[in-house]
Chain A
Amino acid sequence: MHKVYHTIDNLSGSIITLRAEGVKYRELAQVTSRAGTSLAQVIKLSGDTVTLQVFAGARGIATDGKVRFLGHPMRVHFSDSLLGRAFTGSGSPRDKGPVLTDNLIEIGTPSVNPAKRIIPRNMVRTNIPMIDVFNSLVESQKLPVFARAGEPYNPLLARIALQAEVDIIILGGMGLKYDDYLSFRDTLDESGALSRTVMFVHTASDPIVECMLVPDIALSTAEQFALQGKKVLVLLTDMTSFADALKEIAITMEQIPSNRGYPGDLYSQLASRYEKAVDFDTAGSITILAVTTMPGDDVTHPVPDNTGYITEGQFYLRNGRIEPFGSLSRLKQHVNKDTREDHRTIMDAMIKLYSAFKETQEKQSMGFRMTDWDEKLLKYGMRFEREMMDLSVNIPLEKALDLGWQILADCFNPDETGIPSKLINTFWPKK
């Protein structure tokens, strides 16, 4: 039987300290007070002083609150009954479904042995030309969407989740607006995908510690499904809220900040989550698509900056479109050679010409003279933006490649495209 303690010595933010014995590092405790009952986790031991992080926050906890240690670290239920359900960051039901207490798994467990990993090989089709053609998404990739707050990143995530041929979708919401949570749920429901979805959602009004737990709980659940051979897609939105939760807690703990108030281990914290993306040799896979909002639209801000150093590329969502410049899938070369023989060529040629268009546009805005070539580029650029970049475009890769050839043929002569004649002969549309 676990001992109950009745004296709390210090309270600050979501942190409390008390004297207790026989406590294990990272052990869970139940803190009961006038404000209700919350879970808490041991984050520091010093002699007989135990420091706990209270999931629901320390607000309302009295110095005579009750603390009962549970003897084990954080665990959550795992089974197929998770499917279709929604939970909070600490794993309690957010819907009207039952509390699940059996089949417990630990969260935040050790990483995969690198020697057991394999080179990614399967493309994830999204029917978004800016992804499929120019920066293919790959199964087991970890990829964030960099965007300013207000860009339509959540609908984009939902759309990719529905399009991708995955077995399980796991949504990890951090600081999510309640309305956005509902839209996610409704979108998945309408298309019949809810029954293969699990949602762990922390909304903006929930306690900050729960925000911090969302990635671990979502990814540990994903890992279990993947070990059963399932292809899992994990959506994490918004990882900047997660980082801000880390920051808030680090400050309460009086840790020395490294950069704009963020703790010095921000990189390691983010990496240990993103690195859960994996393709198991003899089982399933985890693909992570995350959102990182950029405060001040600044990619050198610590959160997008550290993220970029961890993930396998990034998509820039700007003005409702995925930017061709800056966006990068670092794994695309593993898959885009086996799709269609003209894939890489179209990718390179169209981007090169679009970049020339951008230069021309700049020249035009400065009032310089436009040559015939400039006029061609302007025509091309407009069509590229309207027919390829616009997010409303929803066509499979092959159709997108065909469309690419059509746009090129409508705007240029073959020898102006820099495409090798062998491919021109096969693919250039006949008038």
Chain B
Amino acid sequence: METTGKIVGVNGNMITVAFDAAVAQNEVGYACLEQGGTTQRLMSEIVRIRGRLADMQVFEDTRDVQIGDVVSFSGNLLSAELGPGLLKQIYDGLQNPLPQLAAQCGFFLQRGTYLDALDRDAQWMFTPAAKSGDRLTAGETLGTVPEGIFQHRIMVPFAMSGVYTVKSLAPAGPYTVTQEVAVLADADGHDHSVTMLQRWPVKLPITCFAERLKPVDTMTTRIRSVDTFFPVALGGTYCIPGPFGAGKTVLQQITSRYADVDIVVLAACGERAGEVVETLREFPKLPDPRTGKTLMDRTVIICNTSSMPVASREASVYTAVTIASYYRQMGLNVLMLADSTSRWAQALRELSGRLEEIPGEEAFPAYLESLIANFYERAGLVRLKDGSTGSVTIGGTVSPAGGNFDEPVTQSTLKVVGAFHGLSRARSDARRFPAIDPLDSWSKYQSVIDKERVEALRSILRRGNDVAQMMKVVGEEGTSIQDFIVYLKGELLDAVYLQQNAFNDVDAATPAKRQQEMFGVIEKAMLADYPFAKKDTARKFFQNMAQAFIDWNQTPADAPEYASRRDAIMQTTEEASRHA
């Protein structure tokens, strides 16, 4: 018997439902809307239970809902479908495939239409890896199917607890995701049929691995400011707060192209639809620098943009991280990017307001901090049961009100992440991109360059900034030549190393090896003593240096001028400092 309830209240996207059999927190139900002889089923989730009343957030527009309408409960928590065929997909926050939805409904989204996340007709070439009689637990491999360039592991479903004996395995061959590929017997001798498709409740972490490890290796992004100064580790977490227009989205777009990972899951959470469109139109055409395939082949897009139902924003980040964790179970490095976590927090705030909870700062709910912490906790480097490792790295943008970082979402996030890329309005106004503030940002992870060497240059940057501040008051005339040179050095480092021209094919992406070489060259220029007597000579010298560097930055590594341009810079440094 299906559990049902009746609607007794509607307030925005929240309904209150009277029920009389057992229901669970976070259980999914469908509000059934009779209209013109057809029934529309609006997906909803229980967010609070009080006595015989359940408050549910509806993932759709609630227009036309009436008191007395029936809600049918599903008995399941909000879940994602996992299996081969997730890659290249474009889903909404509830994992509806948007292109298929468009084929069915046309230009506009239509509430109450839910499609299978995974194609039921597609066939996958299954190769068994386990044998009859093997004793396996959740997350261990039964077989594999090729999905693009990956060996997609078909695993014992994560929700199956205990040890199972493989009773039979399907022979190698093509299967759809709903065909049986294995029969597993539990300790009591009951048989369980297993297909390539499994479901997992998105709000629960997937934990069927052997152990969690500390993230160590740098996840290179080819963004110099990040990899050298504020690195991110595979399995680590980082955030990008910044005012509007400071470059959060562009930074994530660049990262999604060049990050040295196997798979990228993008969650466009409550931001502009147009930005996702750029990604989904361009990725199928752009080559993946690592594999030569297209970028789309390694990407999953979860797209719940700002005009789509607010309640699904929360679902979208969880769906994304669940898909990321699923691929981690295959020994892959997965990067999940969320733009913007503030929109998710705002959705929570709206919900909390409707539940009339006691508000915290800026009316965000008091539990915001622990939700954010739990979310980032789902990142991590793990050792799987077969000994291989996999990772989920999470990067989230934050959109603080007024660009002021002293607000609940930024502050809660900063407490839990391993790296902070703070974007500054001053830098983006001056078109110094990426606008990552080199003085305020930090990272706890390992850089592609030794820490001491990085710190040495950062301190010049800091001193240069001090001089610049002072110069605003006393003018150039009142500044000593020594200070002035420190200032020019800081400006040089910023102009040629921190700043990167996203629109120049070569400069846009600097691989780790090239960063190390570049760092050596700029380091030399920064640490040298220059005996200039006049500020104009010094300025001219640094201007020329900057020009020479930028030319070099834009030279492909395999071009004949590459070495000569580098050597010219080194020689100029040497000559200028020789007289010291």
Contact = CB atoms under 8 A, between A and B. Distances in A.
B156 to A, nearest CB: 34
A363 B308 contact: no
B90 A115 contact: yes
B64 A73 contact: yes
B245 A112 contact: no
Contact of A366 (B63, B272, B475): B475
A101 interface: no
B131 interface: no
B64 A25 contact: yes
B62 A310 contact: no
Contacts of B67: 21, 23, 45, 47-48
A155 to B, nearest CB: 26
Interface string B304-320: 01111010000000000
A45 B108 contact: no
Given A115-B102, A275-B273, A264 B349 contact: yes
Contacts of B9: 44-47
Nearest to A48: B67
Contacts of A264: 346, 349-350, 353, 363
Contacts of B404: 300
B401 A119 contact: no
B10 A25 contact: yes
Contacts of B308: 111
B306 A268 contact: yes
B307 A272 contact: yes
A33 B107 CA distance: 42
B108 A110 contact: yes
Interface in A317-369: 325-326, 328, 330-331, 333, 363, 366, 368-369
A313 to B, nearest CB: 7
A259 B281 contact: no
A22 B68 CA distance: 8
Given A119-B277, A300-B402, A26 B363 contact: no
Contacts of B108: 109-113
A24 B69 CA distance: 10
Interface stretch (A189-197, A250-258, A379-387): A250-258
Interface string A290-327: 00000000001010011011101110000000000110
A110 B109 CA distance: 6
Nearest to B349: A264
Contact of A25 (B65, B347, B362, B475): B65
Contacts of A300: 401-404
Residue from A27, A73, A275, A333 having most chain B Cβ neighbours under 10 A: A275
Contacts of A118: 277, 281
Contact of A275 (B107, B244, B306): B306
B476 interface: yes
A98 interface: no
Given A256-B353, A265-B350, A275-B305, A113 B65 contact: no
Contact of B98 (A27, A48, A115, A276): A115
A116 B281 contact: no
A428 interface: no
A267 interface: yes
A113 B350 contact: no
A302 B401 contact: yes
B75 interface: no
Contacts of A305: 244, 401-403
Given A325-B429, A363-B475, A110 B363 contact: no
Given A24-B65, A309-B399, A44 B11 contact: yes
A325 B9 CA distance: 50
Contacts of B62: 25-26
Interface in B40-63: 61-63
B121 interface: no
A24 B66 contact: yes
Interface in A109-150: 109-120, 140
B8 interface: yes
Interface string A240-283: 00000000000000011111000011011001100110001001
Nearest to B276: A114
Contacts of B544: none
A117 B244 CA distance: 23
A149 to B, nearest CB: 20
Contacts of A47: 8-9, 67
A48 B66 CA distance: 10
Residue from B244, B245, B280 having most chain A Cβ neighbours under 10 A: B244
A286 to B, nearest CB: 12
Nearest to B111: A110
Residue from A258, A309, A328 having most chain B Cβ neighbours under 10 A: A309
B362 A115 contact: no
Given A46-B11, A368-B475, A115 B280 contact: yes
B477 A119 contact: no
A330 B16 CA distance: 42
Contacts of B364: 258
B110 interface: yes
A314 B244 CA distance: 11
A369 B245 CA distance: 36
Contact of B362 (A21, A259, A366): A259
A431 to B, nearest CB: 27
B384 interface: no
B274 interface: yes
B477 A369 contact: yes
Nearest to B16: A46
A151 B401 CA distance: 25
B36 to A, nearest CB: 12
A22 B65 CA distance: 10
Contacts of A325: 429
A371 B62 CA distance: 67
A271 B399 contact: no
B159 interface: no
A298 B66 CA distance: 43
30 contacts: A25-B66, A44-B10, A45-B65, A47-B8, A47-B67, A73-B63, A110-B61, A111-B108, A112-B107, A113-B98, A114-B280, A116-B106, A117-B273, A119-B282, A256-B359, A259-B363, A264-B350, A267-B343, A271-B306, A275-B306, A275-B307, A300-B402, A300-B403, A305-B401, A305-B402, A308-B245, A309-B244, A333-B503, A366-B475, A368-B476
Given A140-B274, A259-B362, A268-B310, 20 more contacts: A24-B63, A24-B66, A44-B9, A44-B11, A45-B9, A45-B65, A46-B16, A47-B9, A113-B101, A120-B274, A256-B353, A264-B349, A264-B363, A267-B270, A267-B343, A267-B346, A276-B307, A309-B399, A313-B245, A325-B429
> Which 7 A/B pairs are nearest by Cβ-Cβ distance?
A271-B306, A300-B402, A275-B307, A308-B244, A111-B307, A115-B98, A258-B363
